Amino acid sequence: NAGVMQNPRHLVRRRGQEARLRCSPMKGHSHVYWYRQLPEEGLKFMVYLQKENIIDESGMPKERFSAEFPKEGPSILRIQQVVRGDSAAYFCASPPAGGFSGNTIYFGEGSWLTVV
């Protein structure tokens, strides 16, 4: 996973609670992507962030979901008032130093959210 760190790895929330997922890219890297993988489906792009800036949020649901990447600390994906349909694996990814060059991005190990 090239040093992309995500936590928690597993999170259980009751319907209506809030979920916060954290991602730290490789040291010195300032861009992160968030992807969601629903059961039996492929990964879906959610948002692309630079420190203190949202570059592309075209995949974010219109309500309850937000993401930030502050100047200090990890990127946070926040889901308010979770519902059962939010149960999924949430992956964070980071491009190599210098940005995406048409080669690859590196994924963290994922955070598995279960809403009960």
Partner 1 sequence: RKEVEQDPGPFNVPEGATVAFNCTYSNSASQSFFWYRQDCRKEPKLLMSVYSSGNEDGRFTAQLNRASQYISLLIRDSKLSDSATYLCVVSSSNTGKLIFGQGTTLQVKP
Q: Figure out which of the listed residues 67, 95, 113, 115 binds partner 1, where binding follows CB under 8 A.
A: 95
Closer of 10 and 15 to partner 1 (Cβ): 10
Contact call for residue 89 and partner 1 (CB under 8 A): yes
* Least CB distance to partner 1 at residue 56 (A): 6
Q: What single string gives the DSSP state of each residue in the chain?
A: -TT-EEE-SEEEE-TT--EEEEEE-STT--EEEEEEE-TTS-EEEEEEEETTEEEE-TTS-SSSEEEE--SSS-EEEEE-S--GGG-EEEEEEEPPTT---SS--EE---EEEEE-
Site string for partner 1, 9-48 (x = CB under 8 A): ----------------------x-x-x-----xxxxx--x
- Give the number of C-alpha atoms closer than 13 A to the C-alpha of residue 25, restricted to the C-beta side: 24
Closer of 18 and 100 to partner 1 (Cβ): 100
Give the footprint of partner 1 on this chain (CB under 8 A). Answer: 1, 31, 33, 35, 41-45, 48, 55-56, 89, 91, 95, 99-100, 102-105, 107-110, 112
